[in-house]
Amino acid sequence: MRLGLLSRPPEALPPSDRLTTFWWLWLPLACLLFLSVSSLLAPAWYEVWVNREDHGIELAQLVCITLALLVALAGLPLAWRRAPRWAFAWLLLAALCCLYVAGEEMSWGQHFFGWATPPEWARINDQNETNLHNTSSWFDQKPRFLLGLAVGLGGIGVPLLALRRPDLRQGRLALILPPLIGLPLAGIAMLVGAVWLFDNLRGRGSFFVRPSEVQELYFYAFVLLYLVVLRRRLAALPPPGVLT
């Protein structure tokens, strides 16, 4: 199957954008199948081991976004030495966003160390946790909407447009454009979002318990893949002073 699904052979991609299909196609599809089947056929088990707070799916989210943070941090020295300053700023912004999401996902350590929420903070946090995203939509729904928009436009729109206009991959922003191999992850995230909307309209579940959490997992997996490819692109740039 390779990149046939995406109508482009792997040889057409730069080496930095080539990863084995296991990571960007088969593993995401297998996880989607597992989550859907287990949610439908073993809802009690799914609720305890997958959907429960600080279990299964939320731990997977934390792993993905923490790995994304580490990859971004590892890419910063490369970006500083080899890329334009705007590219360094872009990667630094990505690292800060990953840090925020990772910190919020574990309530900045409360989920692991179990400290008590200060009474003053508990009054404004609707889940009695030491995080920001449960205090206002400005720290939760709105950033999530922006992330979903970025994944949809960047993960689906940009790669499809670049297939029709290959010159986009040669332009000034080529370094930071989302890779073609991110299309399956972005597509799955949007598909799960459609399931979530469908469930809300019907007032009952269909393919998943809490599809919003499943969608977040694929959002973070897309971010991780994007940053892995970006770091590989940075590593492929010539060192300072080396002519190409």
Question: For 75-89, how does the pLDDT look when each residue is reduced to its tens digit (9 = 90+)?
Answer: 999 999 999 999 999
Q: At 15, which amino acid appears?
A: P
Q: Are 25 and 184 in contact (CB under 8 A)?
A: yes
Taking each helix axis as running N to C, give the angle between helix 183-202 and helix 141-152, from 0 to 180 degrees, rounded to the nearest 10.
130
**Which range (3-12, 38-47, 53-62, 189-198) has the least confidence?**
3-12
Written in H, E and C, the secondary structure of 57-72 is: HHHHHHHHHHHHHHHH
Neighbours of 112 (CB within 10 A): 11
Residue whose structure tokens are 């508990």: 122
Whether residue 122 has pLDDT greater than 90: no
Give the CB-side neighbour count of residue 53, counting CA atoms within 13 A.
8
Q: At 52, which amino acid appears?
A: R
- Backbone angles phi and psi of 118, in degrees to 5: -55, 140
List all residues 6 or more positions away from 149 whose beta carbon is below 8 Å from its beta carbon: none
Cα–Cα distance, 232 to 78 (Å, whole number): 10
pLDDT at 49: 85
Mean pLDDT computed over 39-51: 86
pLDDT at 5: 44
Whether residue 222 has pLDDT greater than 90: yes
pLDDT at 3: 44
Inter-CA distances, 63 with 100, 168, 198, 242, Å: 14, 32, 28, 37
Mark 177-215 as b/e (b = at least 16 C-beta within 10 Å).
bbbbbbbbbbbbbbbbbebbeebeeeeebebbbbbebbb
- Backbone angles phi and psi of 173, in degrees to 5: -95, 5
Whether residue 217 has pLDDT greater than 70: yes
List all residues 6 or more positions away from 244 whose beta carbon is below 8 Å from its beta carbon: 238
